[in-house]
Structure 1
Amino acid sequence: MKKLVLSLCVAGALAACSSANDPRYLIAATPAERVKNLSARTVEVQLVSLPSYASASDIVSEGDGGALYSQERAQWADDPARGMSVAIARGLSDRTGAAVAVEPWPLNTPADARLDVRIDQSYARADGLFELSGQYAVSSPDGRVREFVKRFHIETPVTERGPAAAARALSAALAKLSRQVAVSM
């Protein structure tokens, strides 16, 4: 019995060491050009909704036959929903000059508008493109901003194989999404 417990402890320690050394990649906000001033001075970005494969910490890509596989034991450095939400908020703020924050809203006065992003697809495809698709909705609790729902389908090139290229392509796709949202508002 002691040998079994000792074996389990050693196996657990080895597993912890190997996962601690797995590479982790940031979901980064890319620099943005100014688009326009929004009618909303403040925007709350709700936590992005993701499909289960995209909400996991593993970075996935499409393989032969359309199946999704984890890339080289690589992981996202942050929770994907939080990381994407922060990148969108940063991109929207940089492009518009509005005060943008991820939920929960940090100020006493409610935000003029709320952005709800629901992602259907988010992965590096086998054909060398990163696909980011879904819908976003802008709501306004006090009616100051026009409310709407729009679909989006963004493809960005994955310039090489591997998780670092997938992370750069996702960042570029999120920058395009931030621009689309800013232009729509």
Structure 2
Amino acid sequence: MKTILPFVLLLAACSGAEQRFLIDPPAEQGAVRLGVSSLEVRDVSLPLYADASEILLEGEDGALTQIDNALWADDPGRAVTLAISEQIGRRSSAAVAPEPWPLEEDAQAAVAVTVSQLVGRSNGTLQLTGQYAISSYDRIVRERIQRFDISVPMTSATPQGVAQATGAAISELSGQITTALSR
């Protein structure tokens, strides 16, 4: 048994075990007063390739390929939804939660985010594009659909670089939504 254990540990070290990375936007704080006191963040819609567990990068030929042994730590759609909800909640005075809305009284407004592209580009940037829709059940805030096109530099073409840039892009999107709701 004593000779088998070091061999097993050596195999585990050399096997190229999968690494998992968080979508973790930088912590934002603020006290922006929103036009609503409660906001529901609907499940974010991601394109199929961005909703997969593999971390992808665009090659020079435009093909998206998986970074070896690199996976997202959580379901990307869930992680992005939670990150947007937490970012808006930290930046504002509103009670913010992802769907399903956890309180008995309905939220005064909801935001639905549809992402058309979330990709680490071959030029060293991460691109996040799509639209968000703000709906207000009792017309407390003006309903609208707003497009976004966010480009964030990646520090490197590594899983860490993609994860960090994804977090920064989500933080920027959350800031745009917060600003739209403060008007």
Bin for the TM-score computed over the shorter chain: 0.7 to 0.9
Is 1:50 aligned to residue 46 of structure 2?
yes
Q: Return closer, same or farther for 1:65/1:81 CA change in 2, 3 Å cut-off.
A: same
- The TM-score with structure 2 as length reference comes to 0.88
Deviation at 1:82, TM superposition (A): 0.3
The secondary structure found in structure 2 opposite 1:90 is helix
Conserved in 1, the CA contact under 8 Å of 2:25 and 2:166? Answer: no
Mapped partners of 1:78, 1:156: distance in 2:
22
Conserved in 2, the CA contact under 8 Å of 1:129 and 1:157? Answer: yes
Of 71, 77, 85, which aligns to 1:75? 71
Deviation at 1:33, TM superposition (A): 4.0
Structure 2 unmatched runs, 5+: 1-13
Question: What are the superposed Cα offsets for residues 71-106 of structure 1, whole Å, 9 maximum, x if unpaired?
Answer: 112110000000000000011011112111110000
Name the structure 1 match of 2:106: 110
Runs of 4+ in 1 over 4 A off after TM superposition: none
Mapped partners of 1:143, 1:175: distance in 2:
27
Q: Which has the higher helix share?
A: 1
Mapped partners of 1:137, 1:162: distance in 2:
32
Question: What are the superposed Cα offsets for residues 124-146 of structure 1, whole Å, 9 maximum, x if unpaired?
Answer: 10000000000000001122121
Conserved in 2, the CA contact under 8 Å of 1:72 and 1:163? Answer: no
- In the TM superposition, 1:114-153 aligns within 5 A as 114-153=110-149
Counterpart AA for 2:170? L
Conserved in 1, the CA contact under 8 Å of 2:45 and 2:77? Answer: yes
Q: How many residues align?
A: 168
Structure 1 unmatched runs, 5+: 1-17
The secondary structure found in structure 1 opposite 2:134 is strand
- The TM-score with structure 1 as length reference comes to 0.87
Counterpart AA for 1:172? A
Deviation at 1:19, TM superposition (A): 10
Deviation at 1:35, TM superposition (A): 6.0
Q: Return closer, same or farther for 1:19/1:41 CA change in 2, 3 Å cut-off.
A: farther
